[in-house]
Amino acid sequence: MSNTPHPYIGFGLGLRTCYFEEILATQPNVDWFEIISENYFVDGGKPWHFLDQIKEQYPIVMHGVSMSIGSTSDINFDYLDNLKKTIDRVQPLWISDHLCFSSLGDFNSHDLLPMPYTEEALNHLAQRLNIVQDYLQRPLILENVSSYLTYQASQMSEWEFLSELHSKTDCRYLLDINNIYVSARNHEFEPETFLDAIPQKAIAQIHLAGHSDFGSHIIDTHDQPICDHVWRLFENFAKTRGPINTMIERDDNFPPFSELMAELDHARAIAPATWSTHDFA
Amino acid sequence: MTSLEQLQKDFVEMLSQDSTRFETHIAAQSGLAPSQRAEIYQNAYRIRLTKVLEQDHEMLGLYLGDDLFEEMVNGYLATYPSCAPSLREFGDRLPHFLSSHDPFKEHGILQEIALFERLLLRAFDAADSDILQFSQLQNIPQASWPNIQFQLHASVQLLTCQYSAVESWQALKSEQPPPSPEIPTERHWIIAREQDKRTGFYALSRCHYECLKSIQSELPFGFVCETAAHHTESEEQGMMQVMELLQKGTELGWFQSDINLLQA
């Protein structure tokens, strides 16, 4: 599967049900919305009623949480069929999921469990990514996850692992800068080292989000405003890069929509001027 | 078994069975101990699934109270670890769990409240389809009526209760104390998505319930009328009941626009 570059479409928001009606009523200045793919693995009702209207007005991208691409269990083709059906209906500009495993056999953790950074895991992921992309007939973007542990077995850093996987498969990443910050704090590395190691052509999208800081460690909750550290990381990273699709992601403790818009506008304001030139080709 | 397979197996056993073997895979780092790092994932797993049951079964939670709800969640998680990719399905076996495990099985209303809440969820995102219009009914030739096959809208769910499950759910929703669980006779309910996409529910007479069950079983209109007659005192009364049901169901969107004419 050849990975053609994804179009630059600007600054987006995660589309969540509590904002459906306000979005339709106010048509906010958002360049695109990202949906959680699995929320639309249903036949009808409110989710589709609203999405069908919103997708008439905004570009949509799809972000999954349950593919479990790193699992050593057989690939779940029922899941991929559901995903395909949803892709056909939504017609997203791109799709993404997480570089992790979440299920094994019949058990589903509903969590984004980290992979060990080993040659074995690299080969396993490369093989599975090819199968999935061939089945879906489109590239799959992978997001880095937050982690709270380091495996004894790991042979390289997370950023080396991502770079190696990109070299092997030409895959692209959704870099969640909050997740990088969370992992950096939990594992005591410099987040800039991670960000600097990922080549521009390997990045399709950025997530900006919040977390909960417990002092001794940080938990990636995506239910808080984006903190100053993450804003600074984004600002400094953006200075060194060409335009990358950037999104504010909030998954819980939903604030008034205006607060998310304020975060989106802040991201626009601190990104380089070149990032405001949209190319909707 | 490869080392990656072993690591993932140990991780999953740590989450689902509290096994400690996984900790040997965790590198020592400053700050938190390996056991604390594992615990973050254990807590996240438990919190996430508890939250799903809290959201999907809000009134059941109020009915049970915090302690019993926690006992239920612990028992359910241990008996039915999540196996579907979607969290939407995680609680599907909760009514069965409540009807088959102590101390919940002694209180039949619990299983019924849980089932009612599952059916509300099922109706919420069932398939869309065009709904039956009165004009379609007017266009059916009189001779065809006995062989007409109506279809229920995909969101329609039918429920029979031996206890005051729905009334208790309504009371709790209105922040009122629930009534006694005992009721003199069983009660019948229809749950369906309304045209504004909200989910509604209505009490049904036994006659209307049985008629809707006949339609659900794809029986032609003639059989539906026979069912109605069986639950009333005469064919005429039965027919009046069926017409009343058709009118109400058409108004409320309980029937699909697709109607079939079966060969006589």
- B80, closest residue in chain A (CA to CA): A107
Task: Report CB contact under 8 Å: A110, B45.
Answer: yes
Q: Do residues B64 and B156 both lie within one domain?
A: no
Task: Report CB contact under 8 Å: B16, A101.
Answer: no
Under 8 Å CB-to-CB from A222, ≥6 apart: which residues? A178, A209, A210, A211, A249, A250, A251, A252
pLDDT at B257 over 60: yes
Could you tell me the CA-to-CA distances from A181 to B36, B120, B250 in Å, in that order?
20, 40, 56
Cβ atoms within 10 Å, residue A62 = 23
Average pLDDT over residues B65-92: 94
Residue B115 in domain: no
Q: How far apart are CA B45 and CA B113, in angstroms?
A: 25
Residue type, position B200, single letter: G
Torsion of CA A13, A17, A18, A21, to 10 degrees: 90
Q: What pLDDT score was predicted for residue B2?
A: 77
Q: Do residues B138 and B195 both lie within one domain?
A: yes
Is the Cβ–Cβ distance between A172 and A141 less than 8 Å? Answer: yes
Q: Do residues B20 and B61 both lie within one domain?
A: yes
**Which residues of chain A neighbour B157 with C-beta distances below 8 Å?**
none
Q: What pLDDT score was predicted for residue B17?
A: 86
Average pLDDT over residues B7-23: 93
Q: What is the mean pLDDT of chain B?
A: 95
pLDDT at B264 over 80: no
Structure tokens at A246: 């950037």
Domain end, chosen from B106, B141, B157, is at: B106
Q: How far apart are CA A40 and CA B119, in angstroms?
A: 18
- A153, closest residue in chain B (CA to CA): B25
Domain hosting residue B85, numbered range: 1-106
- Our CA angle for B251, B194, B64, nearest 5°, is 130
Residue B114 in domain: no
The string of pLDDT tens digits covering residues A17-48 is 999 999 999 999 999 999 999 999 999 999 99
Q: How far is A262 from chain B (nearest CA, A)?
A: 29
Q: Do residues B161 and B263 both lie within one domain?
A: yes
Q: Do residues B134 and B97 both lie within one domain?
A: no
Structure tokens at A110: 């509903």
Whether residue B103 has a cis bond before it, omega within 30° of 0 = yes
A148 at B interface, C-beta within 8 A = yes
Number of domains chain B contains:
2
Residue B40 in domain: yes
Q: Which H or E run includes A68? A: none
Q: How far is A150 from chain B (nearest CA, A)?
A: 6
The fold adopted by the segment(s) A28-272 is: TIM Barrel (3.20.20)
User: Residue B28: how many CA atoms within 13 Å on its side-chain side?
Assistant: 0
First to last CA, chain B: 63
How many CB pairs (< 8 A) connect A and B?
Answer: 132
Q: What pLDDT score was predicted for residue A280?
A: 45
Task: Report CB contact under 8 Å: A151, B126.
Answer: no
In the numeric block, the tokens 């919103």 are attached to A54
Q: How far is B239 from chain A (nearest CA, A)?
A: 33
User: Residue B201: how many CA atoms within 13 Å on its side-chain side?
Assistant: 23
DSSP, res A151 = B
Query: Taking the alpha carbons of B125, B127, B129, B134 in that order, is the dihedral positive or negative?
Result: negative
Average pLDDT over residues B107-117: 98
Is the Cβ–Cβ distance between B201 and B187 less than 8 Å? Answer: no
Q: How far apart are CA A169 and CA A126, in angstroms?
A: 6
3-state per-residue secondary structure call for chain B: CCHHHHHHHHHHHHHHHCCCHHHHHECCCCCCCHHHHHHHHHHHHHHHHHHHHHHHCHHHHHHHCHHHHHHHHHHHHHHCCCCCCCHHHHHHHHHHHHHHCCCHHHCHHHHHHHHHHHHHHHHHCCCCCCECCHHHHHCCCHHHHHHEECCECCCCEEEEEEECHHHHHHHHHCCCCCCCCEEEEEEEEEEEECCCCCEEEEEECHHHHHHHHHHHCCCCHHHHHHHHHHCCCCHHHHHHHHHHHHHHHHHHCCEECCCEECCC
**Which residues of chain B neighbour A116 with C-beta distances below 8 Å?**
4, 7, 25
Q: How far is B89 from chain A (nearest CA, A)?
A: 11
A85 at B interface, C-beta within 8 A = no
CATH of the domain at B132: 3.90.930.50
Domain end, chosen from B106, B137, B167, is at: B106
Q: Which H or E run includes A213? A: strand A212-213
Is the Cβ–Cβ distance between B188 and B158 less than 8 Å? Answer: yes
Residue type, position B118, single letter: R
- B192 DSSP β-pair partners: B200
* Residues of chain A with confidence (pLDDT) below 70: 1-5, 277-281
Domain end, chosen from B57, B73, B106, is at: B106
Lowest mean pLDDT among A2-6, B56-60, B214-218: A2-6
H helix count then E strand count, chain A:
9, 12
- A216, closest residue in chain B (CA to CA): B31
Structure tokens at A5: 């570059």
* Closest to B231 in 3D by CA, of B220, B242, B221, B222: B242
Q: Do residues B138 and B253 both lie within one domain?
A: yes
Residue B189 in domain: yes
Residue B116 in domain: no
- B187 DSSP β-pair partners: B161
Is the Cβ–Cβ distance between B220 and B149 less than 8 Å? Answer: yes
Under 8 Å CB-to-CB from B153, ≥6 apart: which residues? B126, B129, B131, B192, B193, B253, B254, B255, B256
User: Mapping DSSP to helix (H, G, I), strand (E, B) and coil, where does residue A222 land?
Assistant: coil
Residue B184 in domain: yes
Name the more confident of B263 and B230: B230
Task: Report CB contact under 8 Å: B3, A105.
Answer: no
Could you tell me the CA-to-CA distances from B13 to A105, A111, B9, B82, B172 in Å, in that order?
12, 14, 6, 13, 38
Q: How far apart are CA B19 and CA B13, in angstroms?
A: 6
Go through B102-133 and write b for each residue having 16 or more CB atoms within 10 A of its CB, e for each that does not. eebeebbbbbbbbbbbbbbbbbbbbebbebbe
Residue B240 in domain: yes
Q: Do residues B246 and B164 both lie within one domain?
A: yes
Q: Which of B31, B127, B129 sits opposite A216 (nearest CB)?
A: B31
Q: Do residues B159 and B237 both lie within one domain?
A: yes
